[in-house]
Amino acid sequence: MTTVTTTTTPAAPAPAGPADGEERQVRRRRRLSPGRRLPAARMLGPVLVLLLWAAASAAGLLDPGAIPAPWTVLETGARLWTEGTLADDILTSLRRAGTGFALGLTAGIVLALAAGLSRAGEALIDGSVQLNRAVPTLGLIPLFILWLGIGETFKVAIIAIVVYIPIYLNTHAALSGIDHRFVELAEVQGLSRPAFVRQVVVPGALPGFFVGLRLGVTGSWLGLVVLEQINATSGLGYMMFQAQNYGQTDVILVGLVVYGVFGLVSDTLVRLIERRVLSWRRTLSS
């Protein structure tokens, strides 16, 4: 980028002032910010990668055993959907992640509210959660298998823990970081405690909650993948694990694509909700 387009306003006939030196027309300075965003910029990179992949496959540059062509992956996906168990596997995985996520979300919100709104709650809850956070949740898997058996319960429990921690941490931080000036204002305006919580504390904590929510959503997929590949007899991860044993790269790629779609759709959904709920924030950035 060497060309700099400057749209200088057509200078009114150069001011014939008492020029004791030479006069210079004002040139706009070189812009240091990256400038305007390209249209559909987010999708540009992925599309390019896809095109390269397709081109390389068509040219025979890629070993189909290691990286099958995009259309092979699509065909396999369609075949697994109509003839195989892909639909069932997806449902199983979604149920696991969904149940775990719902539990984690509820626990995260309830605990954050209890810890953020009362000193007793904070004393009881916050330390425990911080301790819980220090132990990597996936390290709890052996213990949970012994406690809950190798069925669905333990998988859901692990996902719930992975989800609740970021939601709790961010929501609690936002609740306790509420601007002191707003607390004072609520006192002056004579708000009752429930009204204060509803009208000042909760709306003020929502941005933090959404940060936690997005981390939680990502966490639920991460937990799902790990759990399904270690010890499962159904679900997407199991399908991919089986495919690994039989050397079916295309099936593994189908699984990855589905995971990717899960992640993308859920993240977009959360972002849409966030935009609606936090619409007051948009006025700041626009």
The residues binding another protein (CB under 8 A) are 181-182, 184-191, 195, 199-200, 203-204, 206, 278, 280-281, 283-284
CA distance 205 to 277: 12
Q: Which is nearer to another protein, 67 or 191 (CB)?
A: 191
Shortest Å, Cβ 122 to another protein: 18
Q: Which is nearer to another protein, 199 or 229 (CB)?
A: 199
User: Does an H or E element contain 2, and which?
Assistant: none
Cβ neighbours around 187 below 10 Å, total: 10
Cα R_g (the chain), whole angstroms: 27
Shortest Å, Cβ 173 to another protein: 18
Shortest Å, Cβ 70 to another protein: 45
Q: Which is nearer to another protein, 121 or 203 (CB)?
A: 203
Q: Which is nearer to another protein, 206 or 256 (CB)?
A: 206
Q: Which is nearer to another protein, 42 or 181 (CB)?
A: 181
- Six-digit token string for 21: 């030196």
CA distance 95 to 236: 12
Handedness of CA 235, 239, 244, 250 (dihedral sign): negative
Shortest Å, Cβ 34 to another protein: 25
How far is C-alpha 158 from the geometric centre of its chain's CA atoms?
A: 19
Helix, strand, coil fractions of the chain, as percent rounded to 5: 75, 0, 25
Shortest Å, Cβ 51 to another protein: 42
